[in-house]
Structure 1
Amino acid sequence: MNFSDLGKMKQMLSQAQAMQGEMEQKLSETVVEASAGGGVVTVRMNGRKELLRLKISPTAMGSTPDDLELLEDLITAAVNQAGQKADEAMKASTANMLGGFDLPGLG
């Protein structure tokens, strides 16, 4: 391996680190929203899958244990749906950044 090859490898590593930083920034800025139960429960999550907001409609407040169990199920469903949307947003963002270049483990 010569100095030219080492220089190219160092440049590629530097570019990869810059892309990783850009991806982290995009994940923080990407916001997805999902709801369950016809909007009874709505969650907002960023691309890093951090829950930003949980909104529960006043109509969800029931008085029986079954109502509480249903509300818990709706919250779970909304959070899971938001997580899936965050994954999809990340994949789309990664594909755009890589310009069609496929890296194993990123898609």
Structure 2
Amino acid sequence: MFNPLKLQEMLSQASQMQEEVQRKLAQTVIEGTSGGGAVTATMNGKKQLLKLHIDPAAVTSLTGSTADVEMLEDLIVAAVNDAGRKAEEALQGQLKGMLGGINLPGIS
């Protein structure tokens, strides 16, 4: 027999779990790097970029050529993408932990 009160309780628990995941992701700090550490991107688990660090040596080595600037831009993109991948892994780990091993479509 269908119990609407039980459904409401389950929805409330799901909402609380979602809030908890969002809180934990906001507090999770992830770093991605490229160029052997020349560029470091720091983001939280919600994939918000918090900080971008460029090693001064990477900037002083620029000769002013377009190729050097493009290389630095590529390193920045790579570092941000690396941090984004790590943030996604953190999200998947949080969700798996909260679901207790239940496999749901779209959550690897």
Note the C-alpha offset of 1:102.
2.2
Q: TM-score, normalised by structure 2?
A: 0.91
User: Which residue of structure 1 lines up, in the alignment, with residue 37 of structure 2?
Assistant: 39
Partner of 1:17: 15
TM-score by length of 1: 0.92
Runs of 4+ in 1 over 3 A off after TM superposition: none
- Counterpart code for 1:56: I
| Partner residue, 1:70 | 71
For the residue of structure 2 that corresponds to 1:52, the secondary structure is strand
For 1:1-107, what aligned pairs fall within 5 Å after superposition?
A: 5-61=3-59, 62-63=62-63, 64-107=65-108
Aligned residues: 105
Tell me how large the CA RMSD over aligned residues is: 1.2
- State how far apart, in whole Å, the 2-side matches of 1:40 and 1:18 are: 40
Structure 2 spans left out of the alignment, 5+ residues: none
Deviation at 1:97, TM superposition (A): 1.1
Report the CA distance between 1:104 and its aligned residue.
2.5
CA distance in 2, matches of 1:79, 1:34: 6
1:23 counterpart letter in structure 2: V
Aligned equivalents of 1:106, 1:21: Cα separation in 2: 18
Q: Once the two structures are aligned, what percentage of the paired residues are identical?
A: 51
Q: In the aligned structure 2, how far is the partner of 1:65 from the partner of 1:101?
A: 51
